[in-house]
A and B are shown apart, each in its own frame.
Chain A
């Protein structure tokens, strides 16, 4: 603890930071992040939502799929705090379970696309030259396909070929894969750019001239240094995934029971804003808050990792 604090205070400007200083750089970033009020509040909100999702079976007042056929579409009451849906299911319970799925979709998709993007971008940036230009041209082409087409087709194809052999999870895996496959491109670009930049730095050059293997240099020296921008991008990727998930629900390609997400709930409700506002308002507010929190946290992280932005 004390050494780390010492190191951070005595560290030279970031530009000449070596691999060891990378850690203190991250510590410094964390300190800056903790000073950013909105980012901290957002972080707390996100933790809260994740916790709610994780503890769904404990927190939910009713099972999410229990149908109270005598209490269909009732507005919020003391019995059902957020009312019931058209099958007489408790909206609060559905929302709580929805948090689980929405967060899982957002995070897992971001992680998958991160893995693909990092792998692709690192290879492209590291090898450079001919391989790099082919890989980047392919990414350009992929980027100029309207993502809506790619999303729909990939989702339908994965849905049709139950890849993991479990019909209940089919729609969910299709969703995860479709979203990941359409969102890794920007991550790949960022990682490549960072790799190119770091590759030029003196300590990496030194490590290479000392005969360190490519894999070693990439994993030991380059990866830790590009973590900052990547984490920022990841934080922005999650809300965009949550949004795309709801978009797929709108297209009728959303998740299927037993799973339901906020997107599914919102799509269930938007048409009857006037007659049954509670169907749209609660998932709408949930999506809104989560998106807000992720974006503010992302802003905070970006500022924290980019010292030049400090104080602005």
Chain B
């Protein structure tokens, strides 16, 4: 082997060794990154099949249209809530004092609504307010229209019966939030809360997309 060849072979060996050294690092990096990328969609894409997302959107009409957008996967909330132990919230359940509900037996009330036939339970049409409480399509709907003053406001809340049952499935004087979230996850796409007045628009809804459009 001539001196020049030895130099060439030395350089070739060094380059080859460096390439081999870097190659596994690249493969390892790709090996770990690729499945992660495959499993994660981009921010604008719909979420994975089966994922349910709770969206909250608040738009303020005043100023430049201040907005608040919150997107929470129900599964995440279900996993994180039991870890919160603060004040009345423990293990995903909220303790309620009987004084909070003015001695109303929530469970009995719920049972009565659950077993009752569908229909309009309360209809109030007044000068200041219109109120409507109805059970329709296996959900409880509360609709309030405030006509008093110059600023009219309209609130509509829809609670699926399954969610209400799950909420009250814990022991006495407790609301099971995790069970309610789980039951909510089984529901189809729906609007849960809608509030409109001259200043704000609030919307809470459920779907399988991870973006709030």
Do A and B belong to a common assembly? no
